[in-house]
A and B are shown apart, each in its own frame.
Chain A
Amino acid sequence: MDSPILPEGVKRCSLTTFLILLLPCFALLAWGGLSAVLCLWKGLNQTNMSNVFAFALWIVFDLAVIALGAGAFFTGFLTYIIDRKELKNIINAAVIIGFICYSGAMAMLGIDIGQPIRGWFIYWHANIHSMLVEVSFCIGCYLIVLIIEFVPIIFENRKLNEIKPIRLIGHNLHEIMAVFAATGAFLSFFHQGSLGGMFGVLYGRPFAAREGFYIWPWTFFLFILSAIACGPCFTILCTKLTEFISGKKLVPDNAIQTLAKISGWLLSFYIVLKIIDTLGWIYGVVPRAGMTFMDFYREGPYGVWLVVCEILICGVIPAVMLMIPRIRQNGTWLVVAGILNCTGIVINRFVFIVVTLAIPVMPFDRFWSYVPTWQEWGIGLAVLGYGVLVYALSYRYLPVFPKEKELNIIT
């Protein structure tokens, strides 16, 4: 039915099957939509956030998604600036995933602030000292860059491409994509860093504070590193998932392997620094705050297992796996390593947000716990639904994978 607008020379399921497969996404979106309306209309009392848990599920989602979306700028950086040609075969997917992650995060942030209508005050009454302002500026600009990067891919749709001006614009945009990739990379380096900085500068919260070790908030660099270490892996995982679902090979192995290798190197580098950072924290920040390492892992569900999980199981292990070509080249192990890698970073973002706030700083204060409401889940999962939907639509109607035709000759 929609065959005229499908990319040429590739096989797609029928529209009906496609829509049926997408039903869960629509359901998530409806759930999220309802939640969003409630939150915007009645206020944030619809959530279980509190004066203790000022940041909660949504910020965890945001930070996780932005870290995972780092594949976009980093692949762009590698493709256009470092000129790794093989990555051209995966850059579109990376850009789309990035776009989804960032736009989803922005939407969620819009609901997360108490006065969404005043959101623009961040830009208008900007406080240059605030890491969150830096984040907002960079993410805002980078989202525009992502749109600019996404638009030519949309323009490559068979029907749109028939329109001459559109084709022209698309072509010209392609020509200067390196400029945007560079801008994007620059912006992204900053906001990934500022996101880490946001927590690193919480000097009053010894769990997150990171000054005094090497350089001013050290988390700035750790966040950049961890994002670029897991972003490419997430891109690989998405591609692998698409390949699995469509039952087709979409990206040549060399592209995947390049990303995996770089991811491995970065993760290794990161995890070494993270271990040093943790030791520095344990012997620097923590005692200075009058606490001991164990003070942070005594309360509620947060135990040392979190550290073991984050650093060892989801850090050192995938790093080693990705560094060893034999393992990396095995499809299954690659996916396992990718999942571990991404999980580790998500745990990292989670602890920085939730544990930071949950551990009382005043000795006489007590530990509080937090469980998200269905509205919070609704909005969080709606971003997932939105992501899958946009990704699926893109895959169906746009030539996301330039080598798809070549790798899957229709006989």
Chain B
Amino acid sequence: MQMKRRNFIKFLVGGVAGIQLTPLPWKFTDDVAIWTQNWPWVPVPPVGAVTKEKTVCSLCRGACGIEVRKIDNRAVKIEGRSDYPVNPGGICPLGMGGLQLLYNESIRFTSPMKRVGPRGSGVFMDISWDEALDILSGRISKLRKKGHPEALAAIDGNPNESTMALMVERLLKAVGSPNYVSMPSVGDTCSMVNYLQQGTGEMMAYDLENADCILSFGSGLLEGWGSPGRVLNAWGLWHDAHAKEKAVIIQVEARASNTASKADFWITPKPGTEAALALGIAHVLIKDRLCNVSFIENYCFGYHDWKSLDGQEHKGFKSMVLDEYSPQQVAGITGLQADKIKSLAHEFGKAKAPIAICGKGKGSLNGSLYEFMAIQSLNALVGNINKPGGVLVHEAMPLSDLQKLKNDQISLRGLKKQRLDQAGTSKYPFTNSLINNFLDAILKRHQSPVDTLLVFKANPVFTLPDTTACYKALKKIPFIVSFSPFKDETALMADLILPDHTYLEKMDDLVCPPGLQYPFYGLTKSVVDPVYNTENTGDAIIRLAKKIGGSVAESFQWPEYEDVLKTRASGLYSNGKGLVGYDASHPVWKMQKAGNRAAPDYSTFEEMWEAIKTGGFWFTAKHNYQNYSSIFKTPSKKFEFFSLRIKSAIDIAAKQKPLKKVLKDLGVAKNADEACMPHYSKDESSQDSTEYPLFMMPYEMINLASEWAPNPPFSNKTLLDNQLRNDESFTDINPQTAKANDLKQGDRVIIKSLAGRIKVRVNITEGAMPGIVYLPLGFGHTAYDEFLKGKGVNPNDIITTNRDPVSGQIVWWNTAVKLIKV
């Protein structure tokens, strides 16, 4: 048949119609629908063998037990462990998002690298581990040859008690540099207070679970204070719907934080006057006989006026407090009502087991020494020290020291040089490290005294108050080496990258999570094979030392980092009272209170070590309560309201210079006696209050990472849209402040201080104190990827810092600012 046009059309129409009668169209639509269910760009997670690995989270110092669910060698979920003493089951949002940090390639260094682009551009080139270590060891050897080992410096964010901190400090010492600077932390102030008032430089050990009244001076119990997994669990216990007696929580804070909102009482003194409030409470406790007289009389020093051996009369705590801190006087300072101070003191004094806790937290790297002393004095006044439900006093963790260091002549000469930060000198007699002094020293000199800076687990360019100063100082340093696994702001300024494993890929220890009331040792392990070409920094240091050779190599004789960890852990074994097993139905706080007498559940060191490696913990629940005659290691062998150590530091310095100058150097505004006691003195801010009429207070949130690592993207879901909207973060201000500055909800505003200016949007809330401008910490990254970079502003950029008396640490919490409407 000839194919004419008409026939063709007929054929076509017929065909199309015919096909409708076949299953073809059905099949086709079905296939297309199935295709939408398996779009090739929708990932299909592969199935595989399911395993679970137990380890410890070390994204903060909290040390929560976690279990990682794996499919073959892929980690797919992090869960809290209920068989872990610290956190019975729950974890924080940061820890929950850990896998997003492990697997996010765009925020991690995948190999050792050296800088090829301009500094700060983040342009690096992959190199081998050998080459990287050669570059660094070559540089260090050269410094040593030139006789300037002290030009090597380190900024270390590892907790002071950790083995990694010892390793880094040891490396510097072996090379011959005194310039080991650790990142400040709230623990610095706590241990200084303990050193001065109790004689041991240990961390605070709060028996929160057994307490019935918590008086918190700004501590973000719900914002990530202490060991968050543990503190939050305690919160749950305090608030159990079935609990017979619920603990009373009193929050002293200038912002309706989660803790303040959820507390039973919320007290709002003017920020910076907490010490006065504590002393005002002390006044009422003393006056209304709510003190533990027998404890004070028998085991405390400096409560009453006293006479020293040289015959001089000294004022005691009691008369100072009675003279200067009556509720009326304190009301004047704090802006609270005198009645409120009284009732607060009664609430605290009448409780069976009240604890006053300190740690005005994040954003503050440290606290104020006198404020913390005042708070700890409250615990002493009610005698709730070393008792169940009180503040416990521990000996140092029974960890062994590392073998003695080998020092050659070069290093001995280098170690004699003065530290750049002047820590430990008569100006700062009790302080180990002062990072801001260190940076100032670099900025002040024409040429940087530091040639090579090693950065471990710290991101000072982002986290230090006054980041601009830090950035400028770092820019002056000729060579920076970062050991960070992540492409953080400081690492981007580095010349050489020696990337560490992340916490899920390596073995490391976690000693004494902050605030925990019993000695605890945690150990992380590698739950997945390292994803990239990274190396445990512990091992990298050992290899580096070997490459440097000589006495440096001799100081690092261990084959690998695990051997270092074992060396230290051997002390846990010889101590003879630990446990490596844990039964969740007997929480440690109950065991400890009941007077646990269980013998160690291991018989050899190897057995103990293997158990720690699998279980991830060692702890001891044995505690010697009360024995006050032996626990205080102060010069008076008592709890000191009046610190004899401060007194002797003043006395020694006063031999060289006039007393007035000594006090001025220490930053004390009062007389020599009060300098030894907790006291309040008005912050003499030099800034013009008409130019900068408001104060800016940074604050932290539990769902926004501050320390350690970047925020896992998951947490972005948990932020409210009056905290972050698009890429802009918000400042919380009171409606009154808003009105005074003619601002409406959502307006854009510039916050200006002497240190700089940042632009944010306004969130008007009654949760803010009038006159204060609040900014959350954790936003404003300039590094990392689109989940973090450029989101919001970093308040550290505009913080103007002062020096805290005696400790010399940074006072960061009241930056005078003004608002400029955009």
Contacts and interface: CB of A to CB of B under 8 A. Distances in A.
Nearest to A115: B36
Contacts of A117: 32-33, 35-36
A214 interface: no
Interface of A: 115, 117-118, 120-121
Number of contact residues on B: which range applies? under 10
B29 interface: yes
Contacts of B29: 120
A35 B118 CA distance: 44
Contacts of A118: 33, 36
Contacts of B33: 117-118, 120-121
Contacts of B32: 117
B176 to A, nearest CB: 60
Contacts, number: 10
A115 B32 CA distance: 11
A39 to B, nearest CB: 15
B199 to A, nearest CB: 52
Q: Which 5 A-B pairs have the closest CB atoms?
A: A118-B33, A117-B36, A117-B32, A115-B36, A117-B33
Q: How would you classify the secondary structure of chain B's contact residues: helix, strand, loop or mixed? A: helix
Interface in B19-45: 29, 32-33, 35-36
Nearest to A120: B29
10 contacts: A115-B36, A117-B32, A117-B33, A117-B35, A117-B36, A118-B33, A118-B36, A120-B29, A120-B33, A121-B33
A120 to B, nearest CB: 6
Contacts of A120: 29, 33
A120 B35 CA distance: 15
A117 B32 CA distance: 7
A125 to B, nearest CB: 11
B400 to A, nearest CB: 56
B765 to A, nearest CB: 14
Contacts of B35: 117
A106 to B, nearest CB: 17
A364 to B, nearest CB: 13
A332 B103 CA distance: 71
A182 B36 CA distance: 39
A366 to B, nearest CB: 10
A117 B36 CA distance: 8
Given A115-B36, A117-B36, A120-B29, 7 more contacts: A117-B32, A117-B33, A117-B35, A118-B33, A118-B36, A120-B33, A121-B33
A118 B36 CA distance: 8
A115 B36 CA distance: 8
Interface string B33-69: 1011000000000000000000000000000000000
Contacts of A115: 36
Interface in B486-500: none
Nearest to B33: A118
A115 B37 CA distance: 10
Interface string B260-293: 0000000000000000000000000000000000
Nearest to A121: B33
A120 B31 CA distance: 13
Contacts of A121: 33
B23 to A, nearest CB: 15
A120 B25 CA distance: 12
Nearest to A118: B33
A120 B32 CA distance: 11
A300 to B, nearest CB: 15
B162 to A, nearest CB: 44
A160 to B, nearest CB: 15
B210 to A, nearest CB: 36
A132 B600 CA distance: 69
B357 to A, nearest CB: 32
A115 B34 CA distance: 11
A216 B115 CA distance: 73
A121 B29 CA distance: 10
B717 to A, nearest CB: 13
A176 to B, nearest CB: 22
Centre residue among A115, A118, A121 by max chain B CB count within 10 A: A118
Nearest to B37: A118
A15 B32 CA distance: 42
Centre residue among A115, A117, A121 by max chain B CB count within 10 A: A117
A137 B472 CA distance: 71
A211 to B, nearest CB: 35
A45 to B, nearest CB: 15
A120 B29 CA distance: 9
A384 B270 CA distance: 64
Contacts of B36: 115, 117-118
Interface in B642-696: none
Interface string B62-82: 000000000000000000000
Nearest to A114: B36
B29 to A, nearest CB: 6
A160 B140 CA distance: 95
A115 B33 CA distance: 9
